[in-house]
Structure 1
Amino acid sequence: MKTGQSYQVKDMDATDEMILKATQDGIPLTGSPFRHIAEKLGLTEEEVVERIRLMKEKGIIRRFGASIGHRDIGIVANAMCVWNVPDGMVEDIGRIMASFPEVTHCYERPRHPGWDYNLFTMVHSYTRNDCEEVAARISQSTGIQDYRLLFSEREFKKTGVRL
Structure 2
Amino acid sequence: MKVQGAIDDMDKRIIRALQGDFPIVSQPYKQIAEEIGIDEETLLRRLNSMKETGVLRKMGAVLRHFDVGYRANALGVWIVAPEHMDEVAEKMCAHPEVTHCYDRNTTPDWPYNFYTMLHGRTEKDCIELARQLSEETGIKNYQLQFTEKEWKKTSMKYFMEE
TM-score norm. by structure 2 comes to 0.87
Secondary structure at 1:148 match in 2? strand
Does structure 1 retain, via aligned residues, the 8 Å contact 2:77–2:142?
yes
Aligned to 1:104: 99
Distance 1:35 1:62 in 2: 21
**What does the per-residue CA deviation read over 1:89-127, in whole Å, with 9 as the maximum and x for residues that have no partner?**
323222222222321111110001211100111111100
Residues 80, 113 of structure 2: 8 Å contact kept: yes
Aligned-pair identity in percent equals: 40
Partner residue of 1:4?
none
Aligned to 1:94: 89
**Aligned-partner Cα distance in 2 for 1:102–1:9:** 38
- For 1:56, which of 51, 56, 81 is the aligned residue? 51
Structure 2: how far apart are the matches of 1:17 and 1:11? 11
**Which secondary structure does the structure 2 equivalent of 1:11 belong to?**
coil
Q: Post-superposition shift, 1:55?
A: 1.2
**Matched residue, 1:143:** 138
Q: Among 12, 16, 21, which residue is 1:21 paired with?
A: 16
33, 37, 55: which is aligned to 2:32? 37
Which of 22-31 and 103-112 deviates more?
Answer: 22-31
Q: Structure 2 counterpart of 1:20, which letter?
A: I
Note the residue ranges of structure 1 that are not aligned, 5 or more in a row.
1-7
CA distance in 2, matches of 1:67, 1:100: 17
Partner of 1:158: 153
* Aligned counterparts, 1:114-129, within 5 A: 114-129=109-124
Q: Which runs of 5+ in 2 are unaligned?
A: none
Does the aligned pair in 1 maintain the 2:5–2:55 contact within 8 Å?
A: no
Once residues 97 and 42 of structure 1 are traced to their aligned partners in structure 2, the CA distance between those partners, rounded to angstroms, is: 43
Structure-2 residue corresponding to 1:84 = 79
Cα distance in 1 for partners of 2:156, 2:100 equals 17
Coordinate RMSD, CA, aligned: 1.8
Change beyond 3 A, Cα 1:136–1:39: same
Deviations 1:9-57 (A, max 9, x none): 8521110011000111232111122232222222222221221121122
